């Protein structure tokens, strides 16, 4: 057990950061009140809807409703209003997070408009499992950054703010409009257009359905198994786009798609600029494609932005910092193989804790999960480890396990960018966290609702949000089908 209270920094005041702060505050004997650093002026992270901001953090679009029922989404110790439908508008989720913030007294501990610029381990001759951290932050309006020392850092910055754009041959020649789904806000501005969406994940399908009522034609280009649902009459399906010309997009089977608009629904990159400086991938240009939902010309989109001398200095600083981080052991050469531009994380034990420096943890880095319950489990596990109630393996063993997990992914043919994608494994993962750290596991009914929701969504992505979920007990739930729902569901 610890003999003094630990001081913990939390980076980000989205759902993950708020959850961590709430649980830190619930353990006053073990932890000092946390310091929560938040770049923006409010809580909520990706759930804060914005328009017209070229540096926007959120990927919310105007009419988005959750693709999971609120009964699954909520934190185990704080419920959504029972009067709400199961699938709710994004504004209700933000309201929920605001209420959560105030219910557990987190707001006074948040430093708003304060950007973390550097997180560095304070290396010495002692045990690396207890290494402290120097956190440098710069508050808006302040002349100089400030560096403070913490016993641990919980990184809660999310991974839905930095768009990933795949490399497509001839992309620079396309004369139509281009944007990433991150910048999509509403469908009316695409009236009478021929739109091709690249990617048929949740965002791609949702946006295609929205656009169907306004665009002349919508094509959903995707890789993977055939979709199970019948799209609207003006929505067609196509194989993956692999090449572009001035006015068309060419699929891998040779199909030519006439298009005047292309929307990348291709996901996001991990981005931790305070730990790892990102390489210039031309995405600065993507930030200027949309203003209040209106697309701008795509010409020169991926041309690198150059300012000779200034850029040379920045590149030099970035190179030096990468070397410094590598020497510190934050990065691992074996775990930073090329990953198709998706970005990468330091070596993580159980997708969560830095293998070399376990006083640094990443809450919510996993993908394809039910987020809020996952944050809850990860936060409790990390706090138990910091308190000494849940002893971790040695840094050497954690690093070895992280490397072996990465090798297994490569041997199985899974792309490195999917290393932290849990999907069906999330339930066993959450159960392991609870059993190992000694807190109450998530109720089994969550898995049942998740699987039911996924089935409904796959069969009918237009109507599945009309269903109502009711929790009966920890094991069972009821699902009420709306009158308009497909009878076969």
In a domain, 320, yes or no: no
**Do 140 and 194 share a structural domain?**
no
**Do 148 and 26 share a structural domain?**
yes
**Do 346 and 422 share a structural domain?**
yes
In a domain, 457, yes or no: yes
In a domain, 183, yes or no: yes
**Do 62 and 29 share a structural domain?**
yes
Cα–Cα distances (Å) from 192 to 61, 124, 165, 247, 291, in that order, read 20, 63, 25, 16, 19
**Do 157 and 231 share a structural domain?**
no
**Do 147 and 287 share a structural domain?**
no
In a domain, 309, yes or no: no
In a domain, 223, yes or no: yes
**Do 147 and 56 share a structural domain?**
yes
Tell me the pairing of strands 256-258 and 248-251.
Answer: antiparallel
The residues of the chain scoring below 50 in pLDDT are: 1-2, 278-323, 325-327, 337-338, 483-489
338 token code pair? 């090329």
**Do 179 and 153 share a structural domain?**
no
In a domain, 311, yes or no: no
* Dihedral (CA of 333, 334, 338, 339) sign: negative
In a domain, 317, yes or no: no
Name the residue with tokens 């953090």: 57
**Do 27 and 119 share a structural domain?**
yes
Question: What pTM does this model have?
Answer: 0.88
pLDDT at 125: 66
pLDDT at 379: 98
pLDDT at 332: 62
pLDDT in tens, 107-124: 999 999 999 999 999 987
pLDDT in tens, 126-165: 677 899 999 999 999 999 999 999 999 999 999 999 999 9
d(CA 287, CA 62): 18
Number of structural domains, the chain?
Answer: 3
pLDDT at 279: 45
pLDDT at 334: 54
In a domain, 400, yes or no: yes
436 token code pair? 């190992």
**Do 461 and 368 share a structural domain?**
no
Spell out the residues 6+ positions from residue 260 whose beta carbon is closer than 8 angstroms to its own.
176, 177, 193, 194, 195, 247
**Do 247 and 140 share a structural domain?**
no
**Do 155 and 207 share a structural domain?**
no
pLDDT at 317: 40
Q: CB count, 10 Å around CB of 213?
A: 12
The CATH number that applies at residue 288 is: 3.50.50.60
Three-state secondary structure string covering the chain: CCCCCECEEEECCCHHHHHHHHHHHCCCCCECCCEEECCCCCCCHHHCCCCCCCCCCCCCCCCCECCCCHHHHCCCCCCCCCCCCCCCEHHHHHHHHHHHHHHCCCHHHEECCEEEEEEEECCCCCCHHHCCEEEEEEECCCCCCEEEEECEEEECCCCCCCECCCCCECHHHCCCEEEEHHHCCCCHHHCCCEEEEECCCHHHHHHHHHHHCCCCEEEEECCCCCCCCCCCCCEEEECCEEEECCCEEEECCCCEEECCEEEECCCECCCCCCCCCCCCCCHHHHCCCEECCEECECCCCCCCCCCHHHHHHHHHHHHHHHHHHHHHCCCCHHHCCCCCCCCCCCCEECCCEECCCCCEEECCCCECCCHHHHHHHHHHHHHHHHHCCCCCCCHHHHHHHHHHHHHHHHHCCCCHHHCCECHHHHHHHHHHHHHHHCCCCCCCHHHHHHHHHHHHHHHCCCCHHHCEEEECCCCCEEEECCCCCCCCC
pLDDT at 335: 52
Which residues form the domain of 112?
8-161+330-437
């Amino acid at each position: 057990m610890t003999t003094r209270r630990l001081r913990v920094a939390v980076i980000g005041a989205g759902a993950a950061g708020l959850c961590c702060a709430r649980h830190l505050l619930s353990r006053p004997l073990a932890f000092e009140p946390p310091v929560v650093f938040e770049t923006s002026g409010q809580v909520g992270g990706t759930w804060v809807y914005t328009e017209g901001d070229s540096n926007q953090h959120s990927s919310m679009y105007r009419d988005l409703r959750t693709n999971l029922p609120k009964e699954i989404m909520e934190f185990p110790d704080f419920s959504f209003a029972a009067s709400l439908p199961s699938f709710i508008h994004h504004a209700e989720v933000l309201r929920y997070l605001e209420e959560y913030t105030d219910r557990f007294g987190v707001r006074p501990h948040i430093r708003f408009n304060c950007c973390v610029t550097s997180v560095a381990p304070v290396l010495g001759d002692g045990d690396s499992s207890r290494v402290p951290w120097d956190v440098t932050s710069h508050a808006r309006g302040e002349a100089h950054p400030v560096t403070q020392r913490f016993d641990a850092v919980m990184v809660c910055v999310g991974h839905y703010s930095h768009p990933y754009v795949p490399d497509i041959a001839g992309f620079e020649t396309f004369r139509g409009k281009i944007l990433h789904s991150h910048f999509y806000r509403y469908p009316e501005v695409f009236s009478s257009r021929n739109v091709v969406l690249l990617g048929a994940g949740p965002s791609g399908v949702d946006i295609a359905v929205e656009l169907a009522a306004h665009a002349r034609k919508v094509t959903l280009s995707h890789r993977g198994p055939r979709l199970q649902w019948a799209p609207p009459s003006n929505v067609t399906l196509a194989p993956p786009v692999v090449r572009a010309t001035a006015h068309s997009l060419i699929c891998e089977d040779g199909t030519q798609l006439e298009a005047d608009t292309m929307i990348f629904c291709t996901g996001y990159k991990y981005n931790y600029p305070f730990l790892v400086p990102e390489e210039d991938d031309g995405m600065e240009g993507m930030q200027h494609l949309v203003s209040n939902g209106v697309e701008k010309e795509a010409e020169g989109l991926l041309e690198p932005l150059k300012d000779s001398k200034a850029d040379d200095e920045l590149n030099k600083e970035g190179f030096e910092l990468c070397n410094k981080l590598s020497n510190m052991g934050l990065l691992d050469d074996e775990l930073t193989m090329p990953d198709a531009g998706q970005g990468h994380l330091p070596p993580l034990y159980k997708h969560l804790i830095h293998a070399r420096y376990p006083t640094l943890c990443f809450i919510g880095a996993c993908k394809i999960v039910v987020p809020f319950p996952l944050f809850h489990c990860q936060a409790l596990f990390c706090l138990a480890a910091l308190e000494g109630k849940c002893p971790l393996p040695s840094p050497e063993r954690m690093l070895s396990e992280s490397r072996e997990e990465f090798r297994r992914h490569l041997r199985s043919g899974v792309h490195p960018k999917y290393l932290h994608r849990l999907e069906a494994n999330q339930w066993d993962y959450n159960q392991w966290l609870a059993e190992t750290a000694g807190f109450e596991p998530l109720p089994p009914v969550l898995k049942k609702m998740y699987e039911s929701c996924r089935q409904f969504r796959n069969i009918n992505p237009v109507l599945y949000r009309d269903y109502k979920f009711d929790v009966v007990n920890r094991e069972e739930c009821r699902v009420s089908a709306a009158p308009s729902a497909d009878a076969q569901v």
